[in-house]
Amino acid sequence: MQRLCKMVETFLVTPNHLTLYRIASIPVLIVLLLFANKVSAFFAACVFSAASITDLLDGLMARRRGMESALGKFLDPLADKLLISSALIMLIPHGRVPAWMAFVIIGREIAVTGLRAILSEKGIVMAAEELGKYKTGFQIAAVIALLLHYPYFGVDFHAVGALLLWVAMVLTLWSGTRYFLKFKEIIPL
C-alpha cells in the first residue's frame, strides 16, 4: 500500500483529488449499472474497486504529508457514503440487494452523520471507531462481489456478496447502536 501511495504522489495528486475522483466515479458506476450483463457488471466492479482504493490512499497521503484539511474531513466520509449508497440503490432493481437492507445501511449512515453534525455544532468530534472501519470494509467487499454477480472461475460471486452483505448489515447496526449510545452519554435526551 505504501508503494502505491508513493506512485500516486509522483503524479502530484492530493488527497482531496482522490476523494473527488471517488465522487466523480459515481455517475460512471450508475451508467454501467443501467445494463444487466456480465461485461458491464465486471467494469462496474472495477470502477467501484478503484474508487474504494482511493479511500485508503487519500487518508494515508493526508496523514503522511500533513495535508489533512477541513474540506477533506468533510468530503472523505461523504464520498464513501455516496459511493456505497449509489451502488446499493442501483443493485436493487437487478435483484442483487434487497431494498430493505439498502434502507437499513443507508439509514444508519444518514443517522450517524446527523449525530456527528449535532456534536460538531457543540464543538465535539466523535471519531470513527475500529468497528466502523470493519463495517465499511465489509460493505465494500459485499458491493464488489454483488457487482460482479456472475460466476467467474467457478466462484458464485452473488452468494459471496449476499453473505458479506449480511455481515456488513450486522456490523452497520452494531456500530450505529454504539454511536447512538455514545451520543446519549454525551448529550442526554
Question: pLDDT tens digit string along 29-86?
Answer: 999 999 989 999 999 999 999 999 988 887 777 677 776 666 666 777 788 899 999 9
pTM: 0.85
Q: CA angle 56-58-63, nearest 5°?
A: 100
Q: Which residue carries 434487497 as its cell?
A: 98
pLDDT in tens, 102-127: 999 999 999 988 888 888 787 777 76
How many CB atoms lie under 10 A from the CB of residue 171?
20
pLDDT in tens, 72-96: 667 777 888 999 999 999 999 999 9
Return d(Cα 5, Cα 136) in angstroms, integer.
20
Domains of the chain, CATH where assigned: 2-186 (1.20.120.1760)
